[in-house]
Amino acid sequence: MKNTVLVRPACTEDLAAIHNLSRIELGYDHDFDTLKSTFQMLQTDPNHKVQVAMLENVVVGFLHVNRYDSLLGPAMTNIMAIAVNHNYQGQGIGKILLNAAELWAREQQTFGIRLLSSESRVNAHGFYQHNDYVSHKKQLKFEKIFK
């Protein structure tokens, strides 16, 4: 990659780009106003960090990580979301965002990082494996939606 990628904390002005990346790259068609209010809440929570990858002053990717503590094991970091615009994939931006996640996880003194990836995201699985992430088990996801 010729140009330098800058990773910085996300701000309110980045939310339209984050919303588009979530919708287009990850398939989450979440309401923008809900995303905005959630982001505002997360900005003040020290257990969450949202960052964007910038290339030539354009948001080309984003990352959301959070620390979680459990009675069942050591503190870990979750990658809640990571996405790179498909026009910029394969240029090392995803790796830069993973490195940012790992740096934050170490700063939080967590034991490691985990992430969930849908069965259908085969290319993403290869990317994670290439970056030393190991799949330890298959799980089912159960939800109960309140209406």
Average pLDDT over residues 107-114: 94
100, pLDDT greater than 70: yes
Closest by Cα among 81, 129, 79, 126 to 104: 79
pLDDT band at 136 (very low <50, low <70, confident <90, very high): confident
Contact 95, 60 (CB under 8 A): no
Tell me the torsion sign for CA atoms 20, 12, 101, 91: positive
pLDDT digits (tens, 9 = 90+) for 46-68: 999 999 999 999 999 999 999 99
Domain ranges of the chain: 5-130
C-alpha separations of 84 from 50, 65, 136 in Å? 14, 15, 25
Assess if CATH 3.40.630.30 describes domain 5-130: yes
Of 2-6, 13-17, 45-49, 134-138, which range is least confident?
134-138
3-state secondary structure at position 145: coil
Average pLDDT over residues 24-52: 95
* pTM for the model: 0.88
